[in-house]
Amino acid sequence: MTGIPPTPVSKGEVGWGILGPGGIANIFTRDLIAHGHRVAAVGSRSADNARAFAEKWGIERPHGSYDELLSDPDVDIIYVATPHNFHAANATAALRSGKHVLVEKAFTVNAAEARSVFGLGRAKGLLVMEAMWTRFLPHMAYVRSVIERGVVGEIRSLHADHTQRLPSDPAHRLNNPALAGGCLLDLGVYPVSFSHDILGEPLEVTGRGILRDTGVDVSVSTVLRHRNDAVSTSYSSMETIGPNMAVVLGTEGRIEIGSVWYSPAVVTVKDAAGQVLERFDEPVSGRGMQYQAAEAERLIAAGELESPLMSHEQSIAVMATMDAVREQIGVRYPDE
């Protein structure tokens, strides 16, 4: 199928630096190494954590501070994998050190921070990209191709859920408002970003949520009205486990994305009568995070500052939508 990205294999010409060796950084680093990307260094506020991460993945240089990592001449791009409330500061420091940045989603805490980081990247002539890895996966390229070919007619609605049973411990970062915890920025960002990708920036935002005693959102529902009166809905939760599926409804049929829709998944295209027209089921090596890394390296080689698949404007718009949802459900972080 045209437009579907091939399995990326890096030449190892770009040196990656991992800032924040946590859980997501382990998954990303595994996919980097498995597909030929060169991980030059890792940085942590703890020298022991940096060394342990480096030993686990065979990384040559562990750094016991972020400043040491940002000063490493063999690092070309920094992958920011710290909690959300640190993203803007970490990305800003990396850019000021002359490094390109790939920042974990949610990109920042709010749209104002996002604008600041992207503005600095442009001023420095450096790549800045949100690590919304789902957008770069082959099955999502296929979904966009189905829509572009008009197979299911005009798109009228999109529905997606992202539900997991995550720690309820008040001390956990997900339940700590000082660390920008909560369901929306960790889980809800996936369906919100998906709706932006397929239907564009919403014209109207409605959000409902349930808050924990700590003040973070444990579950969030959104209804977004887009151009041509298309509607997207989502439900995200940290305390319930649902099907984690997505569907895009058109006037002539529908696109069904199986569980787990935001990871490599099977896509089935059906006509208005429910008959299968097409099916996409291509295996992906590892978690699939290598696709976003390949895009970052392509952009660096081309001297480009943003990806058309996850542009600065799109990331800012996603953050603005989540700002509006948080305002409606009553979630505000201490440093805002």
SS3 letters across 50-103: HHHHHHHHCCCEEECCHHHHHCCCCCCEEEECCCHHHHHHHHHHHHHCCCEEEE
pLDDT of residue 335: 81
* DSSP letters for 182-201: SHIIIIIHHHHHHHHHHH-S
Shared domain for 203 and 250, answered yes or no, is: yes
Q: For position 278, what pLDDT does the model report?
A: 97
Phi-psi region of 302 (alpha: psi -120 to 50; beta: other; left: phi over 0): alpha
pLDDT at 3: 67
* CB contact at 8 A, 117 and 108: yes
Q: What is the pLDDT of residue 8?
A: 85
Q: Return the CATH number at 253.
A: 3.30.360.10
> DSSP label at 211?
E
Indicate the residue among 132, 158, 174 that finishes a domain: 132
Q: What angle do CA 41, 87, 311 make, to 5 degrees?
A: 95
Token pair 């002359």 is found at 98
Give how far Cα 188 sits from Cα of 44, 148, 195, Å: 27, 26, 11
Residues 82 and 44 in one domain: yes
Burial of 65 (0-12, 13-18, 19+ CB in 10 A): middle
Asked if residue 21 is part of any domain, the answer here is yes
Q: Note whether 126 and 142 are same-domain residues.
A: no
Q: Residues 83, 114: one domain?
A: yes
Per-residue pLDDT at 336 = 84
Please answer whether residues 176 and 167 qualify as being in contact, where contact means their C-beta atoms are separated by less than 8 angstroms. no
Residues 148 and 267 in one domain: yes
Query: 321 vs 54, 166, 195, CA distance in Å?
Result: 37, 24, 11
Residue 4, in any domain of the structure? no
In a domain? residue 179? yes
CATH number, domain with residue 53? 3.40.50.720
Same domain assignment for residues 63 and 196: no
Query: Which distant-in-sequence residues (6+ apart) come within 8 Å of 20 by Cβ?
Result: 43, 44, 80, 81, 82, 86, 90
Total of domains in the chain? 2
pLDDT score of 6: 79
User: Is residue 58 in a domain?
Assistant: yes
Q: What is the pLDDT of residues 27-51, one digit of tens each?
A: 999 999 999 999 999 999 999 999 9
pLDDT < 50 regions, the chain: 1
Q: At what angle do helices 138-148 and 189-199 cross, to 10 degrees?
A: 30
Domain that includes residue 117, residue range: 15-132
Tell whether 310 is covered by a domain: no
Return the pLDDT at 4. 77
The whole-number pLDDT of residue 105 equals: 97
- The answer to whether residues 120 and 168 belong to one domain is no
Same domain assignment for residues 46 and 98: yes
- Shared domain for 90 and 179, answered yes or no, is no
